Amino acid sequence: MTIQFVERHYSEKNATYLEQSGVHPVLSRLFAARGIEQPDELALELKHLIPPSQLKNCESAAKYLANAIENKKKLLIVADYDCDGATACAVGMRGLKALGKPWDIQIDYFVPNRFTLGYGLTPEVVELVAALPNPPDILITVDNGIASLAGVEKANQLGIEVLVTDHHLPADQLPSAKWIVNPNQPHCSFPSKALAGVGVMFYLLIALRAELRNKGIFSAETQPRLENLLDLVALGTVADVASLDRNNRILVSNGIKRIKSGQMQAGIRALYIAAGKDPSKSSTFDLGFTLGPRLNAAGRLADMSLGIQCLLSDSQEDALRLAHELDRMNRERRTIEAGMQETALASLSDIEVGEQATLCLANESWHQGVIGIVASRLKEKFHRPTLIFAPGEEGFQYQPQMGVQQHVKNLRANVLSWAEAGFTYGTIISRSGDMITQGAISIKKLWGIGGVGMRIDDWTYIVRDSSNLETIKFSGEYGFKMPRNEEVRFQALYRDWE
């Protein structure tokens, strides 16, 4: 394999202007290549954050929440089971408790188990929370919800209102929620489309605090200090691999500053201690490769509630106990991952990977919570779009890795059949109901071969067809036979690797 170094293009005009403004020549070129035009763009004080007024529905949702809190509505946060979802939940819980303290706010959280309930606000999740002894009046999704059409509809039927906060790309149809706060929703002019789920929740809290100030509940002196939550915002943003545009750099840099100065949640400090790291030397590397994996281990192997409890604990002793358990889980995750990767590489030993367009592997012994990491490792090693299957309660779980920031989270599927030759050429999969997808890419409906199809990216298509389809050909080479069947079937098609 030949490694090519490609020079990033930059504006010589901008680089020269930055250099003339006092920036070092090398840094001037680096900054210009990253889109920086003015020296003041390098300022990272909180006052330079994009105002919440530019985030569609943020101020309206804040007014809605303020009225709900004043009317003592019961709130429930529905979280996701990765680090972004856990930190977003912790930010929401801590922030809403502080802002709702004058009314003794009733708020709790629920995080779906990835193995039994899947991703997001599903109808099953809604039914579970509606059956609680003290059911909520309002559900607030964090880091999920934009694809939860059926779940929001179920909540509406049961008289539960839904406020969606999310950052994933939406489908053509949006859920019928009371409000949706998402920088990537249609007609949202918010400049920072890279805002993570935890960042969206933080913005909503900023707008809510401003609304309560307008109502005379707080003054600038008595208002809760939401900047105390920036350590959590920084962790979730970095761990979710959100692009560090200027707005995210402001959030992350200020969060790291607080960690370095010792101003952090007990859970953040405990995670540093459990990992044997010094928080006074904190960096984005620590957040992404030390703290993030330990929190994610809970969602991968057990229940992310453990990670959220660690972030919500105000007792250093309790937080440290939980952090040590998360550290133990992460070591277990590494062992499982190493075994799965070894098995995967062994299964590829007789296959000329260089001649394949994609890799697709399945194994009865693999852990469904770790297949995403293994898919990523194989994708990085072989530079091929990679799909990994592991057994789940409803058949095989599916985790693709198709490229940097091009992936689909939690596509739950049953394997009907798959091609021979080591699953190299593709897989026919089936799923009842709407296909739930989340990630940094969008799934757009297309009128494809013989029926409704969906485009994932330039090399991956999923086509739904229940007709008597013989052989689908794509890029003139790879084809699949789909016999007539009354079940709706999905088929993944891949173009030749270029």
Q: Return mean pLDDT, the chain.
A: 80
Q: Give the pLDDT mean for 382-410.
A: 52
Provide the pLDDT confidence category of residue 94 given band limits of 50, 70 and 90: very high
What is the b/e burial string over 456-491, where b = at least 16 CB atoms within 10 angstroms of the residue's CB?
bbebbbbbbbeeebeebebeeebebebeeeeeebbb
Q: Give the pLDDT mean for 40-63.
A: 97
CA distances from 84 to 87, 129, 166, 199, 456 (A): 5, 22, 11, 9, 23
Per-residue pLDDT reduced to its tens digit, 213-246: 999 999 999 999 999 999 999 999 999 999 999 9
Per-residue pLDDT reduced to its tens digit, 188-214: 999 999 999 999 999 999 999 999 999
Residue of 455 and 141 predicted with greater confidence: 141
Q: Give the pLDDT mean for 98-115.
A: 93
Q: Where are the beta strands (DSSP E) in 279-338?
A: none
**Per-residue pLDDT at 469 exceeds 60:** no
pLDDT of residue 479: 30
Provide the pLDDT confidence category of residue 383 given band limits of 50, 70 and 90: confident
**Per-residue pLDDT at 301 exceeds 50:** yes
CA distances from 324 to 264, 271, 275, 286 (A): 18, 8, 8, 17
Per-residue pLDDT reduced to its tens digit, 418-444: 222 222 223 333 322 222 222 212 222
Q: Give the pLDDT mean for 350-363.
A: 73
